Structure 1
Amino acid sequence: MIKNKISWVKEFLLAALFIVLLMGVDFSVKGTGPLMRGGTRLVFGIVVAGIIYYVLGTTKIFPHRIQLGTFSKIWGFIFGICLGGLLLLVIILTRTTLMAHSKTFIADTMMALSAGIFEEFLCRGLLFSAFLSAFNQAKYKFTEAALASGIFFGLFHFMNLISGQGIVQTLQQATYAFVIGTIFVSIRLTTNTLLWVVLIHAMIDWQAGISVTHTASAIAPWPTFSAVWGTLLVISVIFLISFDGSFNHQKVSISEK
């Protein structure tokens, strides 16, 4: 793995600083128009991404991609089908049509890009790197770091309570953010880059009116909600565990040469 430039403790502190600054940015543009909010958020996200890139020195985790075992490839295929189906259903069939009629198209696009850039560089970049260093001696360090960073990503969405979002909506949002966090880590580990998770995150957040309000209003029935997101979580965790196995096997093979 590529070594960090700073300690994982400093990475956590830096992440906390960025979150505080984000709250300050949101407060400073409160009451302004969608273009101002979207543009400010995008600039802030790009600046933070640049700082994190400088701190980490790269968007990669490994000098070269890890060769996955047969089991990992099978589960990766299943995982890809589930994720691809979700994106197809949510984005192509619903949001594209709605976005075409959005009165705040440019501002919504900037806001979605800002979320993808800021949150991925923060959570799958800086924080995942910190958790990975903290769990460096663990047998399943990638799985543990993925779950830990996913939990943080979920908790991060409780900030929406400040904006007046309901507790039930926030609980569901935090839950699926946690699951999506583990999925995004799986993608980052497989592709060895942050680019794809930034793009996918931005696509998921690309919604009409997101620059006007980013709070959720809909509530899904808990049985359906639990079945869908529980299934995705199980699939992603199985893949992460198999990835740990492939990494450990490859590491042992290299050490024996």
Structure 2
Amino acid sequence: MADSSLRVRPRVWIGFAIWLAYILIVFGVQSVSGVPYDEWGDSGANLFLGAGVSLIVATLLLAVTASVLGWWRPALFDDARSRHRWPIVAPILLAIVAVFTLTLTDWSAYDGAFFAASLVLLLVGFTEEMTARGLMVVALRSRLSEVWVWFLSSAAFGLMHFMNFFLGQDLVPTIQQVGSAFAIGTVFYILRRTTGTLIWAMILHALWAFSVFAVGHGTPNPLAQSVGLLQMVIGILAIVFVWFTFRSVRVGARGE
């Protein structure tokens, strides 16, 4: 990645500053809404005010930030990707589980307003990926090895979810959510490394977040309990598989 093609030279501290600003802005907007985290699913209005507005604001600000820095291309596309492509098995498995989860959803519990508000949640695929595995990755790669890029970006992604404790979620499930997010974040990192673009990770992230939220609305399907277990298994596999993604090959190079 040539720094001369960017408006602002990538620095590690810039990545963490963007990450912290994202957390503060999202937390601030969600706090002002007055809707506790555990009441988002009660109505379309609660969901839109509690989560949707903050995602819209974050989307706009991240787009402005990427434009001002001139980091759009390196945030979305890699010049070099993983030499080994087979670790993409982990993201594929997560996509399958997401589709399976959608089949377990009680769609009869959705009204028009709630469904519309749910669609806004798809923006989380852009906001969280652009923050943790987009702009932060660009910043981290300016100085650190790819191992540290994976670990720090995935840890930052996991810690994003600790804000839910301050929004009303209990401490134990919040800590579990942070750990789970680190593992699932590794799945998204693998998808970026194996495809050479963040776009597919954004799409999978949006699908996954939507499916997990959707299945919890209405009357729970007994099989929905298996989703958490499948997620844990895939997360563990991803942490094992990720070690095979650190060696790179130029995008467009032939062979493995």
Coarse TM-score class (shorter-chain normalised)? 0.7 to 0.9
2:49 paired with 1:49:
no
- The equivalent residue for 2:174 is 170
Give the secondary structure class of the aligned counterpart of 1:134. Answer: coil
- The equivalent residue for 1:161 is 165
- In the TM superposition, what is the alpha-carbon distance from 1:133 to its structure 2 partner? 2.4
Q: For the residues of structure 2 that align with 1:241 and 1:149, how far apart are their CA atoms?
A: 15
- The equivalent residue for 2:109 is 101
- In the TM superposition, what is the alpha-carbon distance from 1:180 to its structure 2 partner? 0.8
2:207 aligned to which of 198, 203, 207: 203
Q: For the residues of structure 2 that align with 1:2 and 1:33, how far apart are their CA atoms?
A: 46
Give the partner amino acid of 1:62: D
Q: Pairwise CA RMSD of aligned residues?
A: 3.3
- Give CA-to-partner distance per residue, 1:106-129, whole Å, 9 cap, x none: 11211x123222111111112222
Is the CA contact 2:15–2:136 (under 8 Å) kept in the aligned structure 1? yes
- The equivalent residue for 2:151 is 147
Change (3 A) 1:245 1:11: closer
- The equivalent residue for 2:234 is 232
1:40 aligned to which of 49, 53, 60: 53
Deviates more, 1:160-169 or 1:4-13: 4-13
Q: For the residues of structure 1 that align with 2:205 and 2:169, how far apart are their CA atoms?
A: 21
2:86 paired with 1:74:
yes
Give the partner amino acid of 1:125: G
TM-score normalised by length of structure 2 = 0.73
State percent identity of aligned pairs: 23
- The equivalent residue for 1:189 is 193
- In the TM superposition, what is the alpha-carbon distance from 1:228 to its structure 2 partner? 5.0
Gaps of 5+ in 1: 212-219
Is the CA contact 1:41–1:114 (under 8 Å) kept in the aligned structure 2? no
Give the partner amino acid of 2:132: C
TM-score normalised by length of structure 1 = 0.73
Is the CA contact 2:101–2:215 (under 8 Å) kept in the aligned structure 1? no
- In the TM superposition, what is the alpha-carbon distance from 1:100 to its structure 2 partner? 5.2
- Give CA-to-partner distance per residue, 1:24-64, whole Å, 9 cap, x none: 2112322593344455224213213312431213233424x
- Give CA-to-partner distance per residue, 1:202-250, whole Å, 9 cap, x none: 2222234999xxxxxxxx79xx96x755643443244333222244xx6
Change (3 A) 1:36 1:80: closer
Q: For the residues of structure 1 that align with 2:185 and 2:16, how far apart are their CA atoms?
A: 17
Please give the residue correspondences for 1:81-120 in structure 2 after superposition, counting only pairs within 5 Å: 81-91=92-102, 93-95=103-105, 98-99=106-107, 101-103=109-111, 104-110=114-120, 112-120=121-129
Q: For the residues of structure 1 that align with 2:51 and 2:115, how far apart are their CA atoms?
A: 11
Aligned residues: 226
- The equivalent residue for 1:216 is none
2:76 paired with 1:60:
yes
